[in-house]
Amino acid sequence: MNGHAVESGSHLTQAGIEAAKTMAHEESAIKELDASELKITRATAPRVVPEVNSKEVFDMKTCTDHMVKVTWTRDEGWHAPEIEQYGPLTMMPIASCLHYATQCFEGMKVYRGYDGKLRLFRPDKNCARLNMSSARVALPQFDPVELGKLMKKFLGIDGPKWLPKSRPGTFLYLRPAIIGNGSEIGVTAPAEVLLFMVAVLWPDFSAPRPGTKPAPPGLKLLASKNDTRAWPGGFGYAKVGANYGPAFVAHMEGRKLGYDQILWLLGPEHHVTEAGASNFFVVWKTKQGALQLVTAPLEGKIILEGVTRGSVLELARERLIEGSKYLTPEVGSIEIVERQYTMPEIVEASKEGRLVEAFVAGTAYFITPVSAINFKDEEIEIPMGDDGSSGHYAALIKKWLRDIMYGNVDHKWGVVIDEE
């Protein structure tokens, strides 16, 4: 409310003032998320850190010693955050999150730098997106800055052991999530919610799983035929569980046919949207000869606003311009284009020899080149650079991002964590 209105000469009646006071009181009773209230209970059964890219890590079942938990209730708001030993969650079988997908999450990585420091990459972006996703599935709002503080505190505790300085160039996967976990089966916004955060041992997907041969470089994508990931008026832009489970069947069918990911198309014109759970970029020459880096736009709320996607675009717009010191003999200046584009455009570019390269961008798969797309049972080959390992733009942008993540360069996007 507007404070001025309560001053003398206000049109508020006494009853109105009382009502305003009552409201203010009620509002203050609903507590905000407050990282300064954090309670820490150390793990009593710490575990052994597995080897990098070991089978255990590829199984993606191992978390670090601790986890963050914060309860929210409709009546009281956010309770005091806690860091405690990693362990099971308990909830009644009628918890909303198990039936109605009242759940959202973030995917981030924490990096052990070559300079020995621990870093997050643009954590403010993920914290803000989690808040947005939470609202989309009727879960509560919070101050993203406070979540960022909890994240740093958590990683300050588990980072030194689980991402040791003896392993520069490695990372952990960080998974914050919010779920409606109260005992209530009503089809409505949950009255009790849990925000939690765990750190998972995560493989480098470009390395082979122990006991298997290295995969050829480059992802092979299968363009979706009947399944649609997201739709106008839907929730494709939010990182909510509802975007993932329903996509697994198409993904599994693709794997059976020898493809790594689904390239999600939309509508009768076959607009290109995302690849698997990553954003998708293509580099082509236009019919007029202009070199372009193209990706789907955020407008329409179909695709996820990937942090990696945004960073690729920002770096490209800053560095891939005429006269830039970052240009190389292989990588010249390029137009950056966010627009709706279609699979038939890619097919045409391929046929006319204008297709330069393509790659996916996201946290899980980072920057990974794409070597082929199957569209309507025809496979389009995509150039993979001179040595067949990656297109030049993908390789250069990947290097820039790695340099920031692992502290080879000092950059505002690399946020250093204070360690215990």
Residues that bind a copy of itself (CB under 8 A): 59-61, 63, 67, 86-103, 105, 135-138, 173, 175, 177, 179-180, 183-189, 196, 198, 200, 224, 226-228, 231-235, 240-246, 248-249, 251-252, 276-277, 364
Select 49 or 91, whichever has its Cβ closest to a copy of itself: 91
| Residue given tokens 């299968």 in the structure block | 222
Q: Which two tokens stand for residue 274?
A: 């995302």
Q: Taking the CB of residue 41, how many other CB atoms lie within 10 A of it?
A: 10
Shortest spacing between CB 117 and a copy of itself, in angstroms: 26
Shortest spacing between CB 376 and a copy of itself, in angstroms: 15
Q: Environment class of residue 325 by beta-carbon count within 10 Å: exposed (0-12), middle (13-18) or buried (19+)? A: exposed
Pairing verdict, β 219-223 and 261-266: parallel
Select 74 or 317, whichever has its Cβ closest to a copy of itself: 74
Nearest residue to 419 via CA among 110, 203, 176: 110
Could you tell me which residues are beta bridge partners of residue 284? Answer: 292, 355
Select 148 or 176, whichever has its Cβ closest to a copy of itself: 176
Select 14 or 226, whichever has its Cβ closest to a copy of itself: 226
Type of residue at 259:
Y
Nearest residue to 198 via CA among 85, 363, 122, 71: 85
CA distance 15 to 25: 15
Select 174 or 404, whichever has its Cβ closest to a copy of itself: 174
Q: Which two tokens stand for residue 229?
A: 């990931």
Select 184 or 305, whichever has its Cβ closest to a copy of itself: 184
Shortest spacing between CB 175 and a copy of itself, in angstroms: 7
Select 15 or 45, whichever has its Cβ closest to a copy of itself: 45
Helix (H) or strand (E) holding 404: helix 392-405
276 within 8 A of 250, measured Cβ to Cβ: no
Shortest spacing between CB 286 and a copy of itself, in angstroms: 30
Could you tell me which residues are beta bridge partners of residue 26? Answer: none
Shortest spacing between CB 393 and a copy of itself, in angstroms: 26
407 within 8 A of 169, measured Cβ to Cβ: no
Select 198 or 304, whichever has its Cβ closest to a copy of itself: 198
The residues near 13 (Cβ < 8 Å, ≥ 6 apart) are none
Shortest spacing between CB 382 and a copy of itself, in angstroms: 23
Shortest spacing between CB 225 and a copy of itself, in angstroms: 9
Shortest spacing between CB 278 and a copy of itself, in angstroms: 11
Shortest spacing between CB 130 and a copy of itself, in angstroms: 12
Alpha helices for 257-391 (secondary structure H): 307-319, 343-351
Q: Phi and psi dihedrals of 299, rounded to 5?
A: -55, 145
Nearest residue to 305 via CA among 131, 82, 95, 49: 131
Select 350 or 363, whichever has its Cβ closest to a copy of itself: 363
CA atoms within 13 A on the CB side of 394: 31
Shortest spacing between CB 351 and a copy of itself, in angstroms: 27
Buried-exposed string 292-302: b where 16+ CB fall within 10 A, e elsewhere: bbbbbeeebbb
Select 245 or 329, whichever has its Cβ closest to a copy of itself: 245
